[in-house]
Amino acid sequence: MGSAEIIAALRQGGLAQDELARRAGVARETLSRWETGTQHPSLEALEQVAAAAGFQLQVGLLPADPELVERVGEQLELSPTDRLKALLHSDWPACQDALRAAAFVGELAVLVGAVAAALRGAPQPPGHGRVDLLIAPEDQEEVSQWLLRADAHPGRDEQAPSSLECRERWVTGHGQLTIRHTAAGLADIAAVRDRAHPVILNQQDTGLLRVALVEDLVQLAAHSPWPEDRLGLPGLRAVLASERYSTRKPRTERLELE
């Protein structure tokens, strides 16, 4: 559970936000930001809030699922294309449409979410192959222009449950994309983008995607208000536990689209 979920659970007994803040000795505005996920308390502060609500916070360390770790090794033996094909099956064509549109955005965005996790070796199926892009707020207008040039069309914006975080929906061919310009757990989106590993589309270098590092994907998933992000945490942690992944050696991989 993330800190926002813990605080929301503490208030399920009917304790008002301002009363909980008063008991915990923090400003109501601060507690509100913690509960919506726009900021994250320290472990000590979270323990203080739990105590104020009459609970004791217990933190435990769990080993990664050995079966998932083994499957990570199998995924990383495959090429990036085969990783996605093996997990997506009939949804692979739709994912390809979304990836082609994402390539128009290029280095303005960083690929996050379930497809990014699969490209990094996570063994869990990435939903229906929707592509999630994280961009800096100041690049929002330019990214929209590039997506329109890629024949993508905007859909309805979505707001996360119990959070102020939103994402834009886009459709391209049979594929779907989302655009986020805020992400709980990731304070500096530009830094996440800059340290991401590049993936080149096709032998002809028809485009480039930046795929977030596993450590950043873990942070995003752990603090995300979107339930589907949190479902990917076990697989991402298995990637880290596999000892097959390193951020120290930047590598360029190729993703072959049909």
Tokens of 196: 């991401």
Residue 65 CA from chain centroid, whole number? 20
Residue 8 sits in the same domain as residue 78: no
Which range, 56-60, 127-131, 154-158, 175-179, is most confident? 175-179
Reported as a single tens digit per residue, the pLDDT across 70-107 is: 899 899 899 999 999 999 999 999 999 999 999 999 88
Number of domains in the chain: 2
Residue 144 sits in the same domain as residue 29: no
Residue 216 sits in the same domain as residue 238: yes
Residue 121 sits in the same domain as residue 170: yes
Could you tell me the CATH number of the domain that includes residue 221? Answer: 3.30.460
Expressed as residue numbers, the domain containing 157 is 66-255
Query: Is 61 within the bounds of a domain?
Result: no
Q: What is the pLDDT, as a whole number, of residue 248?
A: 61
Query: Is 159 within the bounds of a domain?
Result: yes
Give the separation between CA 108 and CA 106, rounded to whole angstroms.
6
Residue 46 sits in the same domain as residue 106: no
What angle do the packed helices 28-36 and 3-10 form, to 10 degrees? 120
Residue 160 sits in the same domain as residue 46: no
Quickly list DSSP for 86-154. Answer: HHHGGGHHHHHHHHHHHHHHGGGEEEEHHHHHHHTT--S--TT--EEEEE-GGGHHHHHHHHHHTT-EE
At residue 175 the predicted structure's pLDDT band, cuts being 50, 70 and 90, is very high
Indicate the burial class of 22 (C-beta count within 10 angstroms; 0-12, 13-18, 19 or more): middle
Q: Compute the residue count for the chain.
A: 258
Contacts of 96 (CB under 8 A, 6+ apart): 175, 257, 258
Residue 71 sits in the same domain as residue 98: yes
Residue 257 has pLDDT above 90, yes or no: no
Spatial contact of 30 and 39, defined as CB atoms under 8 Å apart? yes
For 100: left if phi > 0, alpha if psi spans -120 to 50, otherwise beta; the answer is alpha
Q: What is the mean pLDDT of residues 112-121?
A: 94
Query: Is 95 within the bounds of a domain?
Result: yes
Residue 160 sits in the same domain as residue 112: yes
Mean pLDDT of the chain: 87
Query: Is 205 within the bounds of a domain?
Result: yes
Q: What is the mean pLDDT of residues 194-211?
A: 81
Q: What is the mean pLDDT of residues 110-118?
A: 95
Give the separation between CA 11 and CA 36, rounded to whole angstroms.
13
Could you tell me the CATH number of the domain that includes residue 18? Answer: 1.10.260.40
Q: What is the mean pLDDT of residues 48-61?
A: 83
